[in-house]
Amino acid sequence: MTPEDLSAALFTIVTDRLAAVDGVTITESDVALERPRNRDHGDWASNIAMKLAKRIGTNPREFAGELAPLIQAIDGVAAVDVAGPGFINITLETAAAAEIARTIVEAGDGYGHNAVLAGHTINMEFVSANPTGPLHIGHTRWAALGDSIARVLKASGAQVTTEYYINDAGSQMDVFGLSVLHAAKGLPTPEKGYPGPYIQELAQRVLAAVPDLLDKPEEEAVAIARDLAYDYQLAEIKQSLANFHVHFDVFFSERTLHAPDAVTGKTAIDDAEERLRAQGHVYEADDAVWVRTTDFGDDKDRVLTRGNGVVTYFAADAAYYLSKKDRGFPEKIYLLGADHHGYVGRLKALAAAAGDDPDTGLSVLIGQLVNLNGAKLSKRAGNIIELDDLLDWLGADALRYWLARYPADSPLALDGEKLRSRTNDNPVFYVQYAHARTRSVARNAADAGVTRDVFEPALLVHPTETALIGVLQEFPRIVAHAAELREPHRVARYLEELAGYYHRWYDATRVLPFGEEPISAIHGTRLWLNDATGQVIRNGLALIGVSAPDRM
Whole-number Cα distances in Å, 299 to 15, 113, 311, 335, 356 = 47, 41, 20, 21, 19
- At residue 378, the pLDDT reads 66
The dihedrals phi and psi of 299, each to the nearest 5 degrees, come to -75, -15
Whole-number Cα distances in Å, 79 to 11, 97, 341, 458 = 18, 13, 51, 16
Q: Write the DSSP symbol of residue 386.
A: B
Residue 546 pLDDT greater than 90, yes or no: yes
Cα separation of 404 and 245, whole Å? Answer: 13
Cα separation of 343 and 314, whole Å? Answer: 10
Summarize pLDDT for 461-505 with one digit per residue, the tens. 999 999 999 999 999 999 999 999 999 999 999 999 999 999 999
Spatial neighbors of 348 by CB under 8 A, at least 6 apart, are 296, 297, 298, 358, 362, 364
The dihedrals phi and psi of 398, each to the nearest 5 degrees, come to -60, -45
Residue 230 pLDDT greater than 80, yes or no: yes
C-beta separation of 542 from 151 below 8 A: yes
Residue 108 pLDDT greater than 80, yes or no: yes
Of 64-78, 270-284, 376-390, where does mean pLDDT reach its minimum?
Answer: 376-390
Q: Residue 270 — pLDDT band, cuts 50, 70, 90?
A: very high
Q: Where are the beta strands (DSSP E) in 48-151?
A: 77-83, 87-92, 121-125
Of 240, 237, 178, nearest to 203 by C-alpha is 178
- Domain 3-92 sits in which CATH superfamily? Arginyl tRNA synthetase N-terminal domain (3.30.1360.70)
Q: Residue 515 — pLDDT band, cuts 50, 70, 90?
A: confident
- Domain 423-543 sits in which CATH superfamily? Isoleucyl-tRNA Synthetase; Domain 1 (1.10.730.10)
Of 58-62, 379-383, 404-408, where does mean pLDDT reach its minimum?
Answer: 379-383
Q: How many residues does the chain have?
A: 552
Cα separation of 435 and 397, whole Å? Answer: 14
Q: Residue 45 — pLDDT band, cuts 50, 70, 90?
A: very high
Q: Write the DSSP symbol of residue 284.
A: E
E strand or H helix that includes residue 114? none
Instruction: Sheet containing 121-125: give its strands across.
Output: 250-253, 159-166, 121-125, 331-336, 362-366
Mean predicted confidence (pLDDT) in 27-39: 84
Cα separation of 530 and 502, whole Å? Answer: 8
Cα separation of 237 and 130, whole Å? Answer: 10
Cα separation of 179 and 438, whole Å? Answer: 54
Cα separation of 44 and 3, whole Å? Answer: 8
Whole-number Cα distances in Å, 445 to 103, 440, 497, 552 = 21, 8, 25, 18
Residue 137 pLDDT greater than 70, yes or no: yes
Residue 110 pLDDT greater than 70, yes or no: yes
Mean predicted confidence (pLDDT) in 185-190: 96
For the chain, what are the domain ranges? 3-92, 171-243, 423-543
Of 171, 172, 176, 152, nearest to 162 by C-alpha is 152
C-beta separation of 545 from 400 below 8 A: yes
C-beta separation of 111 from 475 below 8 A: yes
Give the bridge partners for 82, in sequence order: 88
- The one-letter amino acid code at 197 reads P
C-beta separation of 536 from 475 below 8 A: yes
Mean pLDDT over each residue of the chain, to the nearest integer: 94
- At residue 199, the pLDDT reads 96
Q: Residue 369 — pLDDT band, cuts 50, 70, 90?
A: confident
- At residue 316, the pLDDT reads 96
Positive or negative, the CA dihedral 268, 270, 276, 281 is positive
What 3-state class would DSSP assign to 175?
helix
- At residue 38, the pLDDT reads 79
Taking CB atoms within 8 Å and a gap of at least 24, the contacts of 211-216 are 213/181, 213/184, 214/184, 214/185
Residue 547 pLDDT greater than 80, yes or no: yes
Cα separation of 169 and 172, whole Å? Answer: 8
Q: Which residue has the higher pLDDT, 506 or 309?
A: 506
Summarize pLDDT for 371-382 with one digit per residue, the tens. 888 887 666 666
Q: Residue 32 — pLDDT band, cuts 50, 70, 90?
A: confident
Mean predicted confidence (pLDDT) in 258-272: 95
Spatial neighbors of 514 by CB under 8 A, at least 6 apart, are none
Give the whole-number percent of the chain exceeding pLDDT 70: 99
Largest CA distance in the chain: 93
- At residue 381, the pLDDT reads 67
